Amino acid sequence: MTDDTQDFRPEARAPRGFADKRARDLRAERAILEAVSAVYERYGFEALDTGAFEYADALGKFLPDSDRPNEGVFALQDDDDQWMALRYDLTAPLARFAAQNWETLAKPFRRYAYGPVWRNEKPGPGRFRQFIQCDADTVGSARPEADAEIIAMAVEGLEAAGLPRGSAVLKINNRKLLNGLLTAAGVAGEGQKLAVLRAVDKLDRLGVDGVRLLLGEGRLDESGDFTKGAGLAGKAVDSVIDFVQAGVLLKDGGGRSATLANIAKVVAGSAEGDEGLRELELIDAALTSLGVADDQAFIDPSIVRGLEYYTGAVFEAELLLSTTDEKGAKVSFGSIGGGGRYDDLVARFTGQTTPATGFSFGVSRLAAALRAAGREPGGAARGPVVIINFDQAHMGEYFAVAGELRAAGIPAEVYLGTSGMRPQMKYADRRLSPAAIMLGGDEIAAGTVTIKDLDLGRELAAGVADNAAWKAERPGQQTIPRDQLVAAVKTIIGG
């Protein structure tokens, strides 16, 4: 070993776009996943977990470099010279699994999945290269009712995760409506259709006037950059604008049925548009039967999503809660999930169109949104009860106390550092422990134990004025018979 090797000290740093998560974040994600999984299972969806790696050719459009497919994904070459890549999402692995096992699956195949996904993209604020997704999909049903059930399940799942009614809404559209409208207007080329969809997708940011420019010749922004437009003629531009404005807001006395009536006026005479309208009507009827009200899911013709991915119904979950960052400044999360119908994905493997529909949301993003709205997922942070370590000779007693608490379902730990009592109490406070247990020689001889209520101490230190009666009944420190330890700690935790 050379001197240079001996002196080398790597810099302690996490790769860009990969976040370290401590207990608070992990607890929040776990609480969301448990709540949403319970909803999915009540709907009869089966849990499925596929491997982190897929063969790179199964991931499709994110692989422009056939020699080394590393654009958009993290890829490596196996010892059989085949490229593998970390999964980019949970849908491509589902398509591969369905195609591989189609003959043995009960069809339609209804599954939900959650886990990390990886994207080899430039990281930024709130944009990570690894994050947790949660999906639910139905493969093998072309019925619009399958879309409706996914929407209803998404509504219920988000509420179970911590978003009460009125704090989020599912917006619904159908890609066939705009496709039919454009075909009727003489727009035949796929490139021009995609330009129109991209323009419509900017409605929230640019407004009607900005979208109108992008549908026509183009738009010059404030910086002086010019974006070439879709090149539609005036009448076609008007038709698209009328379409995206066909939604009737609840505050204006509208709902799904009123919006459908408006859309029918705009797309009338287009075979594909009429088909999309009929599918939305069936989705609306099913949602009504499932008890999903207009304020929980409504039809918004401006929703586009996945320009080259979705084939029919599309839906997007939007957060309505007021959210602020740690400094109190308002932040906007906007979309917190979405999905739709994708009938061409399994066909990449089989050559046969296989209908599919699903919904996906980012778990970490939802947890951050809930936290920014003052709704901590999983509840307030709480550490274990800490048993103060006074004397090595009494270590057996300390561990016996920890064992009693753990057997009662109470997290507990014996302090195993080398500091004195005051630093140990500071340690317990930093761990957000509800209580500290003190068991010195006098307590052991008398068969007693001393408990310090740290939750109460924190509230008193913060000057909290409510719950006065509760505080009056809770001594900050008490010495009790040893056999009353568990009951006393449960009282503190339950308080």
Residue 17: CB atoms within 10 Å: 17
Other beta carbons within 10 angstroms of residue 43's beta carbon come to: 16
Residue 93's contacts (CB-CB under 8 Å, 6 or more residues apart) are 50, 51, 54, 58, 87, 113
Helix axes 234-244, 256-267, angle to 10 degrees: 170
Whole-model pTM: value is: 0.85
Burial of 44 (0-12, 13-18, 19+ CB in 10 A): exposed
Q: Give per-residue pLDDT as tens, 245-299.
A: 887 665 566 789 989 988 888 887 788 989 999 999 999 999 999 999 999 999 9
CATH topology identical between 23-189+240-372 and 385-494: no
Cα–Cα distance, 245 to 54 (Å, whole number) = 42
pLDDT in tens, 51-100: 999 998 888 755 444 455 567 889 888 899 898 999 999 999 999 999 99
pLDDT digits (tens, 9 = 90+) for 195-232: 888 888 888 788 888 888 888 888 888 877 888 888 88
Give me the pLDDT at residue 220, please.
83
Q: Give the span between the Cα atoms of 191 and 203, in whole angstroms.
A: 19
Q: Are 255 and 313 in contact (CB under 8 A)?
A: no
**Cα 184 from chain centre:** 38
Determine the pLDDT at residue 470. Answer: 43
Q: Average pLDDT by consecutive 10-residue portion of the chain (495 residues)? A: 71 92 91 97 97 89 52 87 92 95 96 95 83 96 98 96 91 90 77 82 83 85 82 82 75 79 84 93 97 94 80 93 71 85 90 94 89 81 92 95 96 95 94 94 93 85 54 71 94 81
The CA distance from 270 to 130, in Å, is 43
| CA count, 13 A, side-chain hemisphere, 40 | 26
Domain map of the chain by residue range?
A: 23-189+240-372, 385-494
Record the tokens describing residue 84, joined without a space: 């593998």
**Nearest Cα residue to 141 out of 105, 112, 103, 108:** 108
Give me Rg for the CA atoms of the chain: 29
Candidates 3.40.50.800, 3.40.50.970, 3.50.50.60, 1.10.3720.10; correct CATH number of 385-494? Answer: 3.40.50.800
Query: Which CATH number is 23-189+240-372's, of 3.40.50.300, 3.30.365.10, 3.40.50.20, 3.30.930.10?
Result: 3.30.930.10
